[in-house]
Amino acid sequence: LACLIDYFTISSQYIPGKIGIKSGNIFMCYSSIFHDVCVSIDWVLMRVSL
């Protein structure tokens, strides 16, 4: 998660703000990014057979 946020804040394509990141007219809030990462990790963990 930290690497993903770091990518968005360092990349010149995105403009970081207090509550999210903007690129053109697209805005992603940090809580939405966090939620998407959590859902993705849960999806992978539910499908991995140990």
pLDDT band at 9 (very low <50, low <70, confident <90, very high): confident
The pTM score is: 0.75
Check pLDDT > 80 for residue 50: no
Residue type, 42: D
Check pLDDT > 70 for residue 49: no
Q: What pLDDT digit, counting tens, does each position of 14-40 carry?
A: 999 999 999 999 999 999 999 999 999
pLDDT at residue 20 in the model: 93
Distance, in Å, from the CA atom of 42 to the CA atom of 28, rounded to the nearest integer, reads: 21
Contact status, residue 9 vs residue 37, Cβ threshold 8 Å:
no
